Amino acid sequence: MKLDEAQVDIKIIQDYVPVGNSNRPAGRLVPTSITIHNTDNDSKGANAAAHAKYMKGPDAQKRKVSWHFTVDDKFVYQSLPTTETAWHSGTAAGNRSSIGIEICEHSDMPDPAAAYRRAALLAAWLAYRLNISVPDGILQHHDWSGKNCPHLLRTNSGKGWKDFVKQVQKFYDELEPVDAILISHHDHDHHGASASTV
């Protein structure tokens, strides 16, 4: 699968936490890992859009909580740029080095398996683009703070987590760069730079 095809398949909607909100710390992030979470919210309607809305509200600011992506069975909502830190890992080290992905678990989600597939593809796509190691750079919230999260993937003696990482690895191995021809610029280029071959 080409990178652009994967991006279309993921269905990312950018809905950023406003600049200046206390839970958008705006520290520089050069990610070396991706941290997977479950939302721990099984309330009806607690989908990706609802969590993105929550993150922009007063309770999330008061609790100083934020993450980069929320995934459900239909969409991915991006709440922070991947170049900015978020407060999701429970540790300063994790927040400074890792992208946070929350996977929804609301009781009325029609297709939970589709949410995990979408999250695995998102993790693979991000890892490919940002040069993050797979599988070593795909972590659990538990790896940072010891919290039982992502709690649904950690059940069944960890088999759920192992299967998820295998899915990330499979997507990662299948990703390919977008086809693009080599171009060159000429002396009469309107940008004013001297000619050079790309």
Which residues in 44-184 belong to E strands, given as ranges?
69-71, 76-78, 98-103, 138-140
* pLDDT tops 80 at residue 189: no
* pLDDT of the residue at 12: 98
| CA 116 – CA 166 distance, rounded (Å) | 12
* pLDDT of the residue at 158: 73
Residue with tokens 């683009």: 129
* pLDDT tops 90 at residue 190: no
* pLDDT of the residue at 188: 65
Mean pLDDT of 32-41: 98
Say if residue 115 is exposed, middle or buried (CB neighbours under 10 Å; 0-12, 13-18, 19+): buried
pLDDT band with cut points at 50, 70 and 90 for residue 35: very high
* pLDDT tops 90 at residue 187: no
Residue with tokens 């922009």: 56
* pLDDT of the residue at 109: 97
Q: Are 197 and 182 in contact (CB under 8 A)?
A: yes
* Residue predicted with more confidence, 100 or 191: 100
* pLDDT of the residue at 72: 98
Model pTM score: 0.91
**Pick from 127, 157, 114, 156: nearest CA to 9:** 114
**Pick from 32, 110, 29: nearest CA to 66:** 29
Residue 60 carries which side chain, given as an amino acid letter?
A
Which domains does the chain carry? 3-174 (3.40.80.10)
Mean pLDDT of 164-192: 85
Q: Are 34 and 102 in contact (CB under 8 A)?
A: no
Instruction: Name beta bridge partners: 77.
Output: 13, 70
Residue with tokens 């978020």: 86
pLDDT tens string 136-159: 999 999 999 999 999 999 997 778
Judged by DSSP in three states, 139 sits in: strand
